[in-house]
Amino acid sequence: MGMGKRTTLQKEIGQKKPFRSRNQEAVIAIVRTADVLKRRFRMVESFGVTGQQYNVLRILRGARPEPLPTMEIAKRMIEKTPGITGLMDRLEEKGLVTRVRDADDRRCSRCSITQKGLDLLAEMDAPVTNAEEEALSVLDAADVNRLIDILAAVRAHHD
């Protein structure tokens, strides 16, 4: 990049020196963008759930009427969490999910979303959809499609 003008990202993070490489800048840009979007979606917390709890509720609603084993929920989560049991404990305490021990394997629980959980998601659907649409509204459809493909390629390389 040379000694040209500072990039937008450099300005955002107050970095004076150039990045080591365009790859370094891109990686930092991805992490920074993820953080910006994550903060934007903290709005789910105004409904009394964390982002991870919201993700679990969405997974369980999508699986209905089938209950899902806890480990299957963990596998499907957007952000991986080692504390799936604690996460499920908190959702159960709030009355948003129910768990039933598996008859064959007592260590395994099968989880379902409750009516209270479904009602909460119904209330959250429009505000979350609006936030999702607004988050990338600066891009046209072709850019969104390209972004999806690029990010998929990066994830595939690391999975």
Domains, the chain, ordered by start: 49-158 (1.10.10.10)
Residue 2 has pLDDT above 50, yes or no: no
pLDDT of residue 50: 93
55 phi and psi angles, rounded to 5 deg:
-60, -45
Q: What digits encode the pLDDT tens for the residues 86-128? A: 999 999 999 999 999 877 776 778 999 999 999 999 999 999 9
110 phi and psi angles, rounded to 5 deg:
-110, 130
Residue 140 has pLDDT above 90, yes or no: yes
**Pairing of the two strands 68-69 and 97-101:** unpaired
